[in-house]
Structure 1
């Protein structure tokens, strides 16, 4: 009898399966005699997945889904799949009905063994999606540097096999209260869609106190439907409508003046479908940051133009902020880090990009331009502007650095807050106070400017000194650059939420200032996420 040889490419394809079965046959205590067709099928089906083959090898290729005793585990998984859409996940991705049909049709040990592994694979996919999200953030937007806290697939499967299945599956989504509130708001919005939404949009460009007519009636009806105004038959823009508009403006990050101008009307006329998209995107973003945020942490919401301090989940400080401009090279990135210290009376070491793009052209035209900046060579020596010739330099070969010494007019103001990171992003004071009065505050080169930096410093120092204001002001009066370390470093989260629900339960919406949430929604839609209307 002649030997049979497989082509090399075919041999490479089947080697993992052959190896897995070989390991099983010769590592089991009683060898081939106790090998069942079911176990062989499990070994073959799991052989191309290192985590699955490790898990089943540890169990002697016994199943966790396939016996009568595993019924509760199967039912718990199917129930979780049926509820996936409640979490803003694509329901078609977790086909409970299809799995039920396969379970009913699997009559042979081989079929049951293959289905056993398929159930584990789908469980792991679902666990990953609901714990840490469907998407890879940086693939959607290169300015999102979010390190998603991926869990070990093997550890997840081991833990699940030893746990109450229903309780384990319920514990997979983020436990942060914000996620729970977003999910409740999502389901409320879905019921709203089933009931017809908020009704007709409001025509016109501007309405204010004392106005009347059909446009005011449409505005009144829209505000009632949205929950900002109690039922009314008024046809006049009265005090009640004025109050409803101020509440709406506050909930949407708008300038609060009680007048329904073009900006306010644009937000009022935004359809519930778009708001629902924002909520689903926010839930995905919560999954990306599904880890403890810290007992005390700093929360910078780029779209809200605020920086807040939270202690044990409670907001204890808030200030307005200015964030990066919309230009691609000036946007504020998203990431988390740890604040370690503040610098009082800081120098501003001008980033290379700003030197070459903004200041070098001025120096070429006039060597005495930007006199507030000190120009230094590689050895730190001050360059004499009168003898220097800047005209021949380009962005590629400019050899100098630039620094602005501490002063009232310093670009960083009088204090900066440092969480050293590769993006060179930090929080700081600014002499440009007028920008904090604007509704949209996207003007910086990427760093975050604070409206109340001294109070922010006092709040941080209060944990380590008895009189934080006195300590801070003493350093400030000295006029010298001074580093003050935080004895307990504080996590900093730079986030981007166009929909969020504070503890009071009133949902808040913000404009998609950089267009990031639009890109995320499009990516989720490509994964199969869809809006739905649900009858209550």
Structure 2
């Protein structure tokens, strides 16, 4: 280890590692060198013993080091360079303190000290690799409704692949390779630079601005829209057609009602500081790391925060529709997970979930036995029970022995079609008779399932790969009035995600409100781990 190493990173560093090992051939007598190597390996064994995986790795190597000697220069430099750039990924850089590592390397003299730094480098590599590949946090520990299953590469596999690969290439392969992750990194850097250069300028203090408005508040609005990239440089001091178009573009990019008027909700989003937007980007990058896996050549992408459902084919969005998601109380919010859509049910019955039966309908029927008359009451064998024969006040939510079902109809709560990806959360996509809700800006009204604005067109798009006449096939079954199951010949992965910061098809950075407060929880958890963004207000 007695040589000079140059480390690429935020700044060029050099340091020397002094080793009293046989690695420095010819500098010490053979018996002494052997004793030092033995002492080094003993130190590695003792230090590694605290970590089962690390201990197993070194035990398989007879406790020989992987960071020692001239042959390890490339691996050391690659790791230190990656650690220098960890902040670009929104990672907690204090976890991998490069300055402290270098200082310890420089000061290491004895075999015990060299063995300790050997194991420390391995543990630091494993920590960084896990963080940048699969995320800093475990989703379920942040919010119980983030039930995404993160794929973790076994630590011993990471070490083996790193040792047997080009180290720089291997480390660069760890973060998500998705275009979205790359664009988020670029957006983070762009906003950090903009913030360092003064941000978006003064906030807009008006409550409402519209066509015909003039004065300093319009100028502040204009300047902020220019700084955000929604308006070309302009000297206008009045709310003209250019500003209307820019406000509309801003509204589209932030999930707001698009009317060209800067009302209270639009101004509130305009005035959010860059630091807050940076937090959203960092959270989105963490979420992308949780999802560092194949999403499927064809898949369904439901962004809960965007109230949208899309079909994606080979990276291109081929269909999109508005959606309604679970309401904000935790017992109605839609969870985040992935599964596989296997079939659709046309003219579905609605089998009312037990929680809705006991919490909502039983109290209604106790007050009025004829309440919820559109629903059939069934026994445990599925047979319809005459509700006039039931004394609802005899039962509690725990003891109520009946189920409830709504037969197929235009007024069925599921509409005329539901799309099934059987899962333990009883969540699916479906039609709805409540069409007016799709015109709302905030669309969180369901009991957890996702309602679609264009369910028939969604069905046709899903069926296109398996029939020349998807609309005809669907409509024939629909017109029958019978409940029908229609299988997808090629099941389609479904991903229920929650992204308040993302890029559009054109690459434009967009933001949505944190309707479930999940991103705030993630950000707070990341800050506890040491993640930080520049705090200067935008």
TM-score range, shorter chain: over 0.9
Q: Secondary structure at the match of 1:463?
A: helix
2:93 is the counterpart of 1:77: no
Distance 2:164 2:177 in 1: 21
Question: For 1:430, which of 415, 429, 432 is the aligned residue?
Answer: 432
Give CA deviations for 1:110-133 in whole Å, capped at 9, x if unaligned.
Answer: 211121111101100000000111
2:318 is the counterpart of 1:316: yes
Counterpart for residue 198 of structure 2: 196
Deviation at 1:532, TM superposition (A): 2.7
Q: Secondary structure at the match of 1:386?
A: helix
Counterpart for residue 214 of structure 2: 212
Distance 2:105 2:370 in 1: 80
Deviation at 1:96, TM superposition (A): 0.8
Q: Secondary structure at the match of 1:274?
A: helix
Question: For 1:54, which of 47, 53, 56 is the aligned residue?
Answer: 56
Counterpart for residue 413 of structure 2: 411
Q: Could you say what the CA RMSD is over the residues aligned between the two structures, in angstroms? A: 1.3
**CA distance change for structure 1 residues 379 and 101 in 2, over 3 Å: closer, same or farther?**
same
State the 4+ residue runs in structure 1 displaced beyond 4 angstroms.
32-35
Q: Secondary structure at the match of 1:519?
A: helix
Distance 1:330 1:53 in 2: 46
Counterpart for residue 112 of structure 2: 110
Give CA deviations for 1:441-464 in whole Å, capped at 9, x if unaligned.
Answer: 000000000000000000000011
Distance 1:45 1:428 in 2: 56
Give CA deviations for 1:97-144 in whole Å, capped at 9, x if unaligned.
Answer: 111111111112221112111110110000000011111111111111
Question: For 1:255, which of 241, 254, 257 is the aligned residue?
Answer: 257
Give CA deviations for 1:325-375 in whole Å, capped at 9, x if unaligned.
Answer: 011110011011111110000000000111111111111122122111010
Verify the 8 A CA contact 1:192 1:533 in the aligned structure 2.
Answer: no
Question: For 1:42, which of 41, 44, 47 is the aligned residue?
Answer: 44
Verify the 8 A CA contact 1:367 1:386 in the aligned structure 2.
Answer: yes
Distance 2:95 2:416 in 1: 53
Give CA deviations for 1:299-333 in whole Å, capped at 9, x if unaligned.
Answer: 00001000001001110000000000011110011
2:493 is the counterpart of 1:491: yes
Deviation at 1:34, TM superposition (A): 11
Which consecutive residues of structure 1, in runs of 5 or more, have no partner in the other structure?
Answer: 1-31
Counterpart for residue 288 of structure 1: 290
Q: Secondary structure at the match of 2:389?
A: coil
Counterpart for residue 347 of structure 1: 349
**CA distance change for structure 1 residues 33 and 521 in 2, over 3 Å: closer, same or farther?**
closer
Counterpart for residue 163 of structure 1: 165
Verify the 8 A CA contact 1:178 1:502 in the aligned structure 2.
Answer: no
Q: Secondary structure at the match of 1:89?
A: coil
Verify the 8 A CA contact 2:275 2:534 in the aligned structure 1.
Answer: no
Q: Secondary structure at the match of 2:309?
A: strand
Distance 1:416 1:380 in 2: 21
Counterpart for residue 447 of structure 2: 445
Counterpart for residue 339 of structure 2: 337
Deviation at 1:502, TM superposition (A): 2.4
Deviation at 1:33, TM superposition (A): 9.1
Distance 2:223 2:352 in 1: 53
* Residue range with higher mean Cα deviation, 451-460 or 387-396: 387-396
* Residue range with higher mean Cα deviation, 434-443 or 90-99: 90-99
Which consecutive residues of structure 2, in runs of 5 or more, have no partner in the other structure?
Answer: 1-33
Give CA deviations for 1:284-308 in whole Å, capped at 9, x if unaligned.
Answer: 0001111000000000000100000
Verify the 8 A CA contact 2:225 2:246 in the aligned structure 1.
Answer: yes
Verify the 8 A CA contact 1:90 1:530 in the aligned structure 2.
Answer: yes
Counterpart for residue 511 of structure 1: 513
Deviation at 1:503, TM superposition (A): 3.8
Question: For 2:146, which of 144, 163, 175 is the aligned residue?
Answer: 144
Q: TM-score, normalised on structure 1?
A: 0.92
Give CA deviations for 1:187-224 in whole Å, capped at 9, x if unaligned.
Answer: 00100110011011001111111111121111111111
Distance 2:527 2:198 in 1: 23
Q: Secondary structure at the match of 1:307?
A: strand
1:231-250 alignment, distance < 5 Å: 231-250=233-252
Distance 1:319 1:503 in 2: 15
* Residue range with higher mean Cα deviation, 174-183 or 34-43: 34-43
Distance 1:387 1:140 in 2: 48
Q: Secondary structure at the match of 1:340?
A: strand
Counterpart for residue 179 of structure 1: 181
Counterpart for residue 130 of structure 1: 132
Counterpart for residue 423 of structure 2: 421
Verify the 8 A CA contact 2:317 2:505 in the aligned structure 1.
Answer: no
Counterpart for residue 10 of structure 1: none
Question: For 1:370, which of 361, 372, 375 is the aligned residue?
Answer: 372
Give CA deviations for 1:263-289 in whole Å, capped at 9, x if unaligned.
Answer: 111111111110000000000000111
Verify the 8 A CA contact 1:325 1:444 in the aligned structure 2.
Answer: yes
Counterpart for residue 123 of structure 2: 121
Q: Secondary structure at the match of 1:308?
A: strand
